[in-house]
């Protein structure tokens, strides 16, 4: 009995090991398949941008929904994040007697990192979920098939206007986030850190140079493409009715947010090294 029990235990361990390998193998295959389909879908959307057929009204509507609809969220997040940064930086700088550099540090931190990343995450959380849910609901109700039957390309009608709107609105929202975050830092500098307004703004302007502004605007431009591609792809590939649409919406937000953080790291690393002389 002892030998049999040992053999059974060893067999169970082998089964568990193979089950883990099988699960990892299945996940890798699914990931590779989804990545391939996302890449091909992105090429179709980019090709649709240069097509003669252009839906102006749909694009303007999406610009309003994405830009104006996300403005309050971006401004609110930027204001409190900027003030939080200013409090933390002012406390640390005070220990070295360098509070006069608060505006300089706020300019670099906000323009390069906080503004683009925070705006990208806010837009990904709000817009990508809406895009995926809307397109997924249209697919589950066979509206996409109806478009095809009437000779309308769903990608040209739905995906391209949303991509163009994101490309235009995300950088604009980033500029608004930068402005409100730096203003929030000024409020903290004058009311809490007891700094002069002139010193804060003069030190802040010293770092508003080409390199920092270029990185700060390049990031939201790149983020907008990833948000549009992922959100639209998840909407077009949603299956399984309302439950599948809900799952696709959740995956859209999660993947978009993680992608923004990963892309932010690589842009910071690569672009910072390329234009170091302008920083």
pLDDT for 74 equals 94
Higher pLDDT, 193 or 230: 230
Kindly state whether residues 19 and 132 are assigned to the same domain.
no
Give pLDDT, residue 19: 67
* 142: three-class secondary structure by DSSP: coil
Confidence at residue 245, expressed as pLDDT on a 0 to 100 scale: 87
Residue 46 lies in a domain: no
64-73, 148-157, 215-224: the lowest-pLDDT one: 148-157
Distance, CA of 73 to chain centre: 14
3-state secondary structure of 234: helix
pTM value?
Answer: 0.86
CB 112 within 8 A of CB 212: yes
Residue 179: both structure tokens together: 């402005």
The verdict on 127 and 27 lying in the same domain is no
How high is the pLDDT of residue 62?
Answer: 93
In this prediction, residue 221 carries a pLDDT of 95
Shared-domain flag, residues 236 and 102: yes
Instruction: Please report the pLDDT score of residue 3 as a whole number.
Output: 55
Q: For the chain, what is the mean pLDDT?
A: 86
According to DSSP, residue 97 is labeled: T
Q: Tell me: pLDDT of 270 over 50.
A: yes
The alpha-helical segments, DSSP class H, found in the chain are 2-49, 56-63, 69-95, 102-108, 115-123, 129-140, 143-149, 154, 160-191, 197-206, 210-236, 241-274
Domain that holds residue 7: 1-40
Token pair of 235 as six digits = 């909407």
CA angle 243–252–136, rounded 5-degree value: 45
- Please give the average per-residue pLDDT across 223-250, as a whole number: 89
- Indicate the pLDDT class of residue 13, thresholds 50, 70 and 90: low
- Domain check: are 36 and 154 in the same one? no
Whether residues 238 and 206 share a domain: the answer is: yes
The reported pLDDT for the residue numbered 1 is 47
pLDDT of residue 4 exceeding 50, the answer is: no
Neighbours of 86 (CB within 10 A): 28
Span 222-248, average pLDDT:
89
- Cα(13)–Cα(195) distance, rounded to whole angstroms? 66
Shared domain check, 75 and 197: yes
Do 22 and 95 lie in a common domain? Answer: no
Phi, psi of 81 (to 5 degrees): -65, -40
């Amino acid at each position: 009995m002892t030998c049999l029990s040992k053999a059974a235990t060893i067999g169970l361990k082998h089964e568990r090991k193979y089950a883990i390998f099988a699960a990892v193998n299945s996940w890798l295959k699914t990931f590779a398949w989804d990545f391939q389909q996302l890449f091909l879908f992105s090429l179709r959307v980019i090709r649709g941008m240069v097509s003669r057929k252009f839906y102006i009204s749909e694009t303007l509507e999406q610009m309003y929904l994405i830009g104006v609809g996300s403005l309050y969220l971006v401004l609110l997040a930027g204001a409190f994040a900027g003030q939080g940064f200013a409090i933390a930086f002012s406390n640390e700088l005070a220990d070295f007697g360098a509070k006069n550099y608060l505006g300089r540090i706020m300019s670099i931190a906000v323009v390069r990192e906080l503004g683009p990343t925070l705006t990208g995450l806010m837009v990904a959380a709000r817009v990508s979920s809406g895009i995926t849910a809307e397109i997924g609901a249209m697919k589950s109700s066979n509206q996409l098939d109806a478009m095809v039957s009437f000779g309308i390309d769903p990608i040209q009608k739905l995906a391209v206007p949303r991509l163009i709107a994101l490309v235009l609105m995300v950088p604009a929202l980033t500029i608004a986030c930068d402005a409100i975050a730096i203003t929030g830092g000024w409020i903290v500098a004058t009311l809490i850190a007891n700094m002069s307004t002139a010193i804060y703004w003069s030190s802040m302007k010293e770092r508003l140079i080409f390199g920092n502004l270029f990185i700060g605007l390049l990031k939201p431009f790149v983020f907008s493409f990833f948000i549009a591609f992922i959100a639209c792809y998840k909407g077009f590939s949603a299956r399984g009715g309302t439950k599948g649409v809900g799952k696709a919406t959740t995956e859209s937000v999660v993947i978009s947010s993680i992608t923004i953080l990963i892309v932010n790291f690589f842009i910071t690393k690569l672009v910072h090294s390329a234009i170091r002389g302008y920083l």
